[in-house]
A and B are shown apart, each in its own frame.
Chain A
Amino acid sequence: MMRSVYGLPVRSILKKPLRSAALMIIAAFLAFSAFGGSLMVMSLSNGLESLSARLGADIVVVPYSAASKVSYDSVIIQGKPGQFYMDAKYYEEIKNEIEGIDKITAQFYLASAKASCCSARLQIIGFDPETDFSVQPWIAKSYSTELSEYDAVVGSDVTPNADMTIEIYGKTLHVRAVLEKTGTELDSAMYVNTATMKELILAHNAKNPNQERAIDPEKVVSSVLIKVMDGYDIDSVVGNINLYVRQVKAIRTQNMIFDVADSLSGVSGMISVLMAAVWVLSVIIMAIAFTMMMNERRREFAVLRVLGVSRARIAGFVLTENALVTLVGGVCGIIITVLLTLLFNGLIEQSIGLPFLLPQPSVMLLTALITLLVTMAAGALTSAVSAYKISKIDAGLVLRGENE
């Protein structure tokens, strides 16, 4: 008889599938909210890290008109399609007249109308290979050779033609490498050197003869990126540029990232509060459901006591049943979360409009295991009181119906 008692938790779960399924759904919900919430918070923080690691510059200088007209920070930091230009003489002015500059480089932005690869606008970023310190170290991870004319490196979301080319404004570019995912719109950007960029701007002008003002690629730049020399205060350099160079606006990149970080911490905070609320509610519901179920089964346990099953074993039986239910529910919750996250991470990224980069599979696996343990611990906690009460029942009274 004793041996058959060992299989009781499993038999009890299988015998009452609806009751077990209800408890499993609550456990799945617990795991889903904990794992999903953690993945969201981790992905947002990963996105921010990849963002700040990529930029590499201390200061960004943009045309003053851009600072008021367009969301220049989203163009520079997140790679959203957009373009603005300033006279190239400001680049020379900053380079020659401002003190404390260690490295300085200019970039060009061009939001293409439509490329052969894509049904949406493609952000083209032009950099000067001789002075660049922002794009090349990042590109080097995927492509270490210098880009020649009509060569391009593209973000992870840009799909070149089968022969690794992309046609833009009638020009054919050779795609040399596809970059790692950053979780930002830079994943759908394309990087070319200044010479290629100038050709593309000329082709763009030719395709758009009616545009208000043709862009002269020899005379304009979009932004200037600056790395400040050690020993110089970044804020002073920013102040000097804003004071002595007209028609431009210098911004400390850290401040631009702070803006993104602010929205990010707001979203993360909201997710954490929701996660906590869901957990508290689910644990309360689970505790109530489990207590009610145990009360309904008092006679069953009383019979077991009469048959000679010890109080400790009955308590163990209750705890094992709950552990099995939360284990199955927790695993289901985790599988659902993984499925939804992998299938819809692009949509989540687009909807929240913030950098979103899923953690490495090993980190996801570790988080899933921790979630499962925490869910099972929460389940054990809710059943511990019931297990204690059930183990203390007076079998005689219950079976006579005097202690219902």
Chain B
Amino acid sequence: MKIKTVIPEMVMTIFSLVILLGSFTFFAACPVSDEGNIMSCHYAQVMVTALGGLLTVLSLTALLVPDQKVKGGVCIAAAFAAVLTALTPSVLIPLCKMPQMHCRLALQPFTILFAALTAAISIIAAILHLKRKKKS
């Protein structure tokens, strides 16, 4: 396995790990209030973390599996998962209304940025692998 050929998968794995870890640390949603009130953004964060985990597994699979066709298929699945991740905060699960809340300032832009980048790289990787498959 040439390092050069798996650079997209390596970048995908790094971005997926960033989504997974960042979603509940630096870029977490609003904290649960002292009275124990859980806002909907909390569930958005849980979903982003879960999707981040899924993306990491898919990226690692694409990185380790030798078959080009399988790699291509896994990358397509990763692209879909990344799009879902980007849509989770606000579109699929509502966030707090006020733009100054931490979920709107941190979780939403962070998820959109990294999920969009992961989706773009997954698509590029899928095209490259399916092309290589055709050639071989």
Question: Which A residues fall within an 8 A CB radius of B?
Answer: 18, 117-120, 157-159, 185, 187-188, 339-340, 343-344, 346-347, 350
A157 and B113 contact, CB distance less than 8 A: no
Interface size for B (C-beta < 8 A) is 17
Would you call B1 an interface residue if the criterion is a C-beta within 8 Å of the partner chain's C-beta atoms?
no
Bound CA span A185–B113, Å: 26
Bound CA span A188–B105, Å: 14
Mask of B84-105 contacts with A, CB within 8 angstroms, 1/0: 0000000000001111111011
CB distance from B34 to the nearest CB of A (A): 13
A117 and B104 contact, CB distance less than 8 A: no
B113 and A339 contact, CB distance less than 8 A: yes
Would you call B46 an interface residue if the criterion is a C-beta within 8 Å of the partner chain's C-beta atoms?
no
CB distance from A338 to the nearest CB of B (A): 12
Bound CA span A193–B99, Å: 25
B100 and A157 contact, CB distance less than 8 A: yes
B105 and A118 contact, CB distance less than 8 A: no
Which residues of B sit under 8 angstroms from A347, Cβ to Cβ?
105-106, 109
A119 and B105 contact, CB distance less than 8 A: no
Q: Which of A119, A187, A344 lies in contact with B101, CB distance below 8 A?
A: A119
A157 and B105 contact, CB distance less than 8 A: no
Bound CA span A117–B98, Å: 7
Which residues of A sit under 8 angstroms from B112, Cβ to Cβ?
343
Output the nearest chain B residue to A346 by Cβ-Cβ distance: B105
Output the nearest chain A residue to B98 by Cβ-Cβ distance: A118
27 A-B Cβ contacts within 8 A?
A18-B4, A118-B96, A118-B97, A118-B98, A118-B101, A119-B30, A119-B39, A119-B96, A119-B98, A120-B96, A120-B98, A120-B100, A157-B98, A157-B99, A157-B100, A158-B98, A159-B98, A159-B99, A188-B99, A188-B100, A340-B113, A343-B110, A344-B105, A347-B105, A347-B106, A350-B102, A350-B105
The 9 residue pairs across chains A and B that have the minimum distance between CB atoms: A343-B109, A118-B98, A346-B105, A119-B96, A347-B105, A157-B99, A157-B100, A188-B100, A159-B97
Additional pairs, 6, CB under 8 Å, beyond known A118-B98, A120-B98, A343-B112: A119-B97, A120-B96, A158-B98, A340-B113, A344-B109, A350-B102
